[in-house]
Chains A and B, each alone.
Chain A
């Protein structure tokens, strides 16, 4: 991965894209470093695909600039930029064999037949389809088609690989498998890669850095851990993973009043007393074991319902005294057994201050 301090490989400055009166991208700036795997994450319509297509030159931005490898490519058509792309539909040419699809870009570069043949077999071996050259796309499974599309994009050794929701047309199982392969391949080749997805799990699993987008602006850029642990906005907190949102107000330095109780919150980000605050905690961060008298931010709750989710169960909790403070917390199956948790029972839980984050409302 690129070291901070190196000049970025891709530098996006103040990019805005309008379609008529609709603003799809609003003053977006971003740096991508060489050999990095960056994922654009967001709900549909957030501008992530628009940004990718602007980088490719397929839908050129209304204003703003893009530099790639030190070259200003802002106004250039796709054919004069340096990238390979895989679309959600793969866009494989159905009337050409796998070999011809992969070699499609090589023929125009004046490579000899032998060179093309060697390069194509090398690429097919790389994506794990060494024997499928003679087949047509319609004879391949979705996952295999995806690999062929990847091989075709890599054939011309582009400086930048763009992936537009490449896994979303596949079955869940194939998707997980291909996800790992994609990551390994990217590491091996060291190619700078940008992928667009709406699947947060995919983003967390693949990315070196995640760019979370919403309504045409970037909400947060960070490593998967940062995005998950320290979401920069309620939107990011809600979109990535599951999150409890508790409405309250800052009462004094470091303390927030929620439903008649006061909680210590570490991540208060200097909000002044009196400010309305939205306090967040992930279900798995709610402390359910070893909560003793004197544990900070403890409260007694009643289990309302339990949702069995395989290796753990997600419980809906309400304070025993009836205060308004609905919580969702995860219980491991072991814990469930040990504590004999079932709907109706009461137990103490705590909200660790270092796991609480607050946003102004």
Chain B
């Protein structure tokens, strides 16, 4: 039988293999520089004193022993728990209405609910100030309680997080097997019993996943707490204060590491859940078709109408206020709040900066992400290289923007790092933003690539066609919709992000979303609202362009028709 001594065959790598392995090594290097090494420098900074000496856990000890600092930890936890327990049930009912009822105008309701994604998280916070702030229209509704503080933060977070929760839950609820409900009917199960035994278990993983995502989103968001937090400190604002305010980088690093914990936890849970979720819906499942039931459909329509209108109102208030001469005393409309030169030395320049940054992020980021995903998915053998790059690509999902931004300060400022020429340039903002949003883009590209026939590369090799030719001739054209998705995702996020880049901009490279924070700080709330509106309009326009473009693709490319 087999001989243990039989000489092992050492497969010769083809030219294609060598190209792809070289690419993977290069990729690993790039991801190390833009993700892993900065995080490492953050971690080591948290164990050092001002002079860079290793002092063990002394910084952490001081953190826990300083009540002013440690209080923020509990504050953050409090805000995150309350927000999550408000958002998840609301979003669940909304998602249920969208997927399981015969409510009318579903597309409209879905669109309404997704509005907040288009704008920075600062926008709902600004709206709340206009409504309930010191000069708020509806100030009386709060019975003299100030909106600045936990109430304002939670309210703004609920609006900001709602679409994120909704998207996950809609996906979870739309994966239902009609046959399960038919079996339950045949067995005479009541509606409540069907809901408890079929619907909820089916959406269980979605609910868990959503809860963790929202929890992390709240705990790591910076903009809202900055604008309506008042004197109520949370972890995200603490980092900013420690680093920018007091130049206490070590303590900033400690808070950063602490901020990493919930994010890592939620990341791990999400991975486990995702693994279990597989095969929930078999290929033979019959898609669920809701049947009309008047009372339920009416109740859900009213619910969605109330929520949808509130979301729209919050959005509209900020837009409206940006056109108001002097809130709330002179409500005549004006365009003077859009003369940004009055509020910021760069004026409209910050917007052009944002456009440039977002475009560069979309173009370079998409190219990088797609190529990386291709190398991971389609390389032959070389499991170590592929696994390593994939692992590196997953890290950014678990790293809050603030933490990544802070890490960049440490890493790119390090003495002797040849890359510190990037510091203060537009390039570092682009690199940082690509890294910040890398994981979701990577997973989108991977999903698209996994749907391709696994044998395309084998066929090409048998026909002696080089791998790059098949990449450009077949892989890229087929994946064009996914590539477009990634580009738009990167663009919109680059337009709206605040948290990571706030540590990295210079006076010339200030971005629109950052200008909102500055204007709000200086009391130019109307200008801030105007800038938020401009960003939202830009994101909306880009989304619409994507919609048009993908329609065009499916119409002009005959092979996409089935």
Contact = CB atoms under 8 A, between A and B. Distances in A.
Q: Are A and B bound to each other? A: yes
Interface of A: 14, 16, 23, 26-27, 56-58, 60-65, 74-81, 83-85, 87, 89, 91, 93-96, 104-105, 107-109, 136-138, 152-153, 155-156, 158
A108 B466 contact: yes
Give the one of A91, A109, A136, A138 with max B CB within 10 A. Answer: A91
25 contacts: A16-B6, A27-B1, A56-B458, A58-B458, A60-B9, A62-B8, A65-B9, A77-B11, A77-B12, A77-B17, A78-B14, A78-B458, A79-B461, A85-B459, A95-B478, A95-B557, A95-B559, A96-B474, A104-B460, A104-B465, A107-B465, A108-B464, A138-B559, A153-B462, A155-B463
Contact of A136 (B10, B461, B464, B558): B558
Give the one of A27, A57, A79, A104 with max B CB within 10 A. Answer: A79
Given A77-B11, A95-B557, 4 more contacts: A78-B458, A79-B464, A83-B462, A136-B558
B458 A91 contact: yes
A91 B10 contact: no
Nearest to A156: B463
Contact of B6 (A14, A75, A83, A136): A14
A321 B336 CA distance: 110
B63 interface: no
Interface SS of chain B: helix, strand, loop or mixed?
loop
Contacts of A16: 2, 6
A93 B469 contact: no
Interface of B: 1-3, 6-17, 380, 453, 455-456, 458-466, 469, 473-474, 477-478, 557-559, 561-562
A93 B478 CA distance: 9
Instruction: Rank and list the top 3 A-B pairs by shortest CB-CB distance, nearest first.
Output: A105-B463, A77-B14, A91-B455
Contact of A26 (B2, B465, B477, B561): B2
Nearest to A78: B461
A105 B6 contact: no
B11 to A, nearest CB: 4
Nearest to A26: B2
Nearest to B14: A77
Nearest to B467: A79
Contacts of A93: 456, 473-474
A152 B463 contact: yes
A107 B466 CA distance: 11
Contact of B461 (A27, A77, A89): A77
Contacts of B561: 138
A78 B13 CA distance: 10
Nearest to B456: A91
A26 B559 CA distance: 44
Contacts of A85: 458-459, 462
Contacts of A26: 1-2
Given A63-B6, A77-B16, A94-B478, A105 B464 contact: yes
A104 B466 CA distance: 11
A60 B8 CA distance: 11
A331 to B, nearest CB: 39
A336 B16 CA distance: 65
Contacts of A138: 559, 561-562
Contacts of B557: 95
B438 to A, nearest CB: 27
Contacts of B460: 104
B9 A75 contact: yes
Contacts of A89: 453, 455
A114 B557 CA distance: 26
A284 B461 CA distance: 47
Give the one of A84, A105, A137 with max B CB within 10 A. Answer: A105
A63 B8 CA distance: 5
A12 B12 CA distance: 18
A102 to B, nearest CB: 10
Contacts of B466: 108
A156 B464 contact: yes
A136 B459 CA distance: 18
Given A14-B6, A96-B474, A138-B561, A108 B456 contact: no
A315 B161 CA distance: 70
